[in-house]
Amino acid sequence: MDVDILLGLQAFRNGSGAILAEFLSKMTFLGELNTALVIMGAIYWGISKDMGAYLMMGWSGNRLVNGVLKVTFCAYRPWIRDARIIPYGTSMTTATGYSFPSGHSMNASSVYGGGMVRRDMPAALRVTLGLILVLVAFSRLFLGVHTPQDVLVGIAAGCLVMWLTVRLMRWVEAHPEKDWVVVCAGLALATGVALYAGLKPYPADYDAEGKLIVDGAKMANDTFKGIGWCAAFLIGWILERRFVRFSTDIPMVMKVTRITVCLLCYYAVSFILVPLVKGWIGGPAGTMVSCFVQMFCVSFVFPWCFTLIEKAREKRAAVPA
């Protein structure tokens, strides 16, 4: 049934001149990992610190949930299950890891669904965010890289995690001195997921020529990424709360400056430092450490640096000429 749906969409895609496919290729970009991190980071640094922290907290939880489900069910991608399915364009390059559930759908559920589930957001904005979420999820079907159950479970699980995160952040707000409980619980979960993903057996199916169809160890790479991101956010989050305490209630010029500089630094870290760390350490440990470095910069290092710079500038401005 799920393969028949994808074949039907593929036939429509091929018959429509791929016009809709180009649009949905752009929509699927909104669910990619780096896109999610950039959006959440920009909100955190200069728009709304509380909203940004909430989104990254929920996204970190979603990366753990997605990683556990992927390595538990070990579902093969649609084109591996049925050679008739041919993904559109270069969409296969971002379709990493096992298929179930959809990582893009869960990323979109974190960023856009995260705003949609909050009742304190304007109704029009919640509807718009919900529409973006649906389009991102549908794009994975239309491009031929996920099955309907992949995206439906991805949306359901992702939005559930964000709904729970709303309540978690309210609890932290009411009990700020107990933020360490959240961090310890999260790190314990991340450690458990790492052990599970690293020690469990993976299916080993071979083609007619005796070649391994899917390398389970490589498929678990996305799970190890999520572990690194989650651990880094939790540690960076509590360190910022205890020692930095920056604010986003600042003039617009400062907001734009912060976001611009932090984005430039983010890309430098992501495309220069992260590959170096990953290559130097190697294996699952290299994946976790490199992702830890990336997220730790987003959640703590960048805020710490711009806070130091802004305070130094204020002191200089306060000195009489």
Give the C-alpha separation, 101 to 274, whole Å: 26
Radius of gyration of the chain from its Cα atoms, rounded to whole angstroms = 21
pLDDT score for 13: 87
pLDDT > 60? residue 173: yes
User: What pLDDT does 218 receive?
Assistant: 81
Cα 173 to Cα 160, 179, 188, 277, 298: the distances in Å are 20, 9, 22, 35, 22
Label residue 321 by pLDDT band (50, 70, 90): low
Catalytic residue among 146, 225, 258, 278: 146
The predicted pLDDT at position 255 comes to 95
State the pTM of this model.
0.93
User: What pLDDT digit, counting tens, does each position of 18-70 carry?
Assistant: 778 889 988 999 999 899 999 999 999 999 999 999 999 999 999 999 999 99
The whole domain housing 59 covers: 2-318
Q: Check whether 99 has a pLDDT greater than 70.
A: yes
* 212: helix, strand or coil: strand
Where would I find the H helices in the chain?
2-15, 19-29, 33-42, 49-73, 78-81, 103-116, 123-142, 148-174, 179-199, 216-219, 221-239, 252-268, 274-281, 283-296, 302-318
pLDDT tens-digit series, residues 190-234: 999 999 999 999 888 887 777 887 787 788 888 999 999 999 999
Q: How far is CA 169 from CA 203, 226, 296, 314, in A?
A: 38, 20, 20, 32
pLDDT score recorded for residue 97: 79
Active site residue 104: yes
Is residue 136's pLDDT more than 80? yes
**Which pLDDT band holds residue 189 (cuts at 50, 70, 90)?**
very high
Q: How far apart are CA 33 and CA 17, in angstroms?
A: 29
As beta bridge partners, residue 212 has 206
Predicted local distance difference test score (pLDDT) of residue 236: 98
pLDDT confidence tier of residue 311, bands split at 50, 70 and 90? confident
162 touches 109 (CB < 8 A): yes
What pLDDT, in 10s, does the model give residues 227-252? 999 999 999 999 999 999 999 999 99
**C-alpha to C-alpha distance for 47 and 213, rounded to whole angstroms:** 46
pLDDT at residue 171 greater than cutoff 60: yes
Residue-level pLDDT at 266: 96
Domain count for the chain, please give it.
Answer: 1
Catalytic residue among 49, 70, 77, 104: 104
To the query of whether residue 175 is one of the catalytic residues in this protein, the response is no
Least confident of 41-45, 92-96, 260-264, 285-289: 92-96
**Those residues with Cβ within 8 angstroms of residue 128's Cβ, 6 or more apart along the chain or in another chain:** none
